[in-house]
């Protein structure tokens, strides 16, 4: 029952096992070095119900909550993923991700993961030296020696959480349908990925939330056992000032996974509806 963990990974554009970096081609430049934040704020909390498609049925398997805390000169963002009660007896997931982001640049200062998925347990932490383009990393397991290493990075490197919040601040009015822009993330190594602006001003029905105008973007996933080469996920962002992800869908090797916004508070602006 890896489905909950897999859906959570889809929310963060990753796969459990990664392959060599995929080159970015035919993209417009994406500037995520000194991003101005005008879409979200401290106190924002958004919760998703996580689904897995079995045959023609979508089964609710877990939930994920994203929370932003304002610490003065930085933001502390956490992501907590867990199975719902009906599935815990079979395969329990309790994943915790956190990122500390510089408020002025929105670049990550540190990122950590604490993963507990059934008998699979591990943790890691990355400390970013953005000025010198270096990351210092530590990875640990309960039954293995802790591994520490450092790597050189290209400029303006992001982690799994910071890039999601940076992309929310993209001015999609500057892009035409079909345009792509590049992003860079560090996931134990550096990955350049593409994000396609697939549709604009869509009217999208969101389960239990009615119809909303959305911008559909298609981020490239990191290839692995569950995601094939050049797999794209569908992210429906609210086409208002919040640019909040309302629904996320991703194909996997067998079936599909989906995350649907079910609860929110502390948004910077009222969530606009198309109804």
Domain assignment of residue 139, given as a range? 3-263
User: Would you say residue 274 lies in a domain?
Assistant: no
User: Would you say residue 156 lies in a domain?
Assistant: yes
User: Would you say residue 240 lies in a domain?
Assistant: yes
Count CA atoms closer than 13 A to 145's CA, side-chain side: 2
User: What pLDDT was estimated at residue 21?
Assistant: 42
Quick one: CA torsion of 162, 168, 170, 173, rounded to 10 degrees?
Answer: 170
User: Would you say residue 269 lies in a domain?
Assistant: no
User: Would you say residue 275 lies in a domain?
Assistant: no
Domain count for the chain:
1
User: What pLDDT was estimated at residue 16?
Assistant: 40
- Of 89-103, 132-146, 191-205, 258-272, the least confident: 89-103
Taking the C-alpha atoms of residue 206 and residue 25, their distance in angstroms, rounded to an integer, is 33
User: Would you say residue 122 lies in a domain?
Assistant: yes
Q: Which pTM does this prediction carry? A: 0.87
pLDDT tens column, 76-131: 999 998 877 655 545 566 789 999 999 999 999 999 999 887 778 889 999 999 99
User: Would you say residue 271 lies in a domain?
Assistant: no
User: Would you say residue 201 lies in a domain?
Assistant: yes
């Amino acid at each position: 029952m890896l489905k909950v963990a897999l859906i959570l990974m889809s929310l963060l554009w990753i796969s459990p096992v990664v392959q060599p970096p995929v080159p970015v081609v035919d993209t417009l430049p994406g500037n995520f070095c000194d991003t101005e934040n005008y879409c979200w704020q401290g106190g924002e909390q958004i919760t998703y119900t996580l689904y897995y498609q079995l045959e023609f049925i979508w089964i609710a398997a877990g939930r994920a909550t994203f929370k932003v805390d304002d610490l003065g000169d930085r933001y502390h963002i956490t992501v907590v993923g867990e199975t719902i009660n009906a599935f815990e007896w079979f395969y329990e997931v309790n994943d915790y991700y956190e990122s500390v982001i510089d408020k002025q640049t929105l670049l990550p200062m540190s990122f950590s993961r604490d993963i507990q998925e059934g008998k699979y347990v591990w943790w890691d932490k990355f400390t970013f030296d953005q000025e010198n383009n270096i990351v210092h990393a530590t990875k640990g397991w309960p039954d293995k020696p802790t591994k520490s290493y450092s790597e050189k990075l290209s400029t303006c490197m992001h982690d799994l959480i910071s890039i999601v919040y940076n992309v929310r601040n993209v001015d999609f009015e500057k892009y035409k349908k079909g345009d792509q822009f590049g992003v860079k993330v560090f996931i134990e190594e550096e990955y350049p990925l593409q994000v396609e602006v697939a549709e604009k001003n869509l009217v999208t029905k969101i389960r239990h939330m009615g119809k909303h105008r959305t911008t559909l973007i298609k981020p490239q996933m990191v290839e692995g056992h569950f995601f094939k080469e050049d797999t794209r996920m569908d992210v429906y962002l609210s086409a208002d000032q919040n640019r909040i992800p309302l629904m996320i869908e991703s194909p996997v090797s067998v079936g599909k996974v989906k995350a649907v916004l079910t609860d929110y508070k502390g948004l910077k602006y009222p969530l606009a509806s198309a109804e």
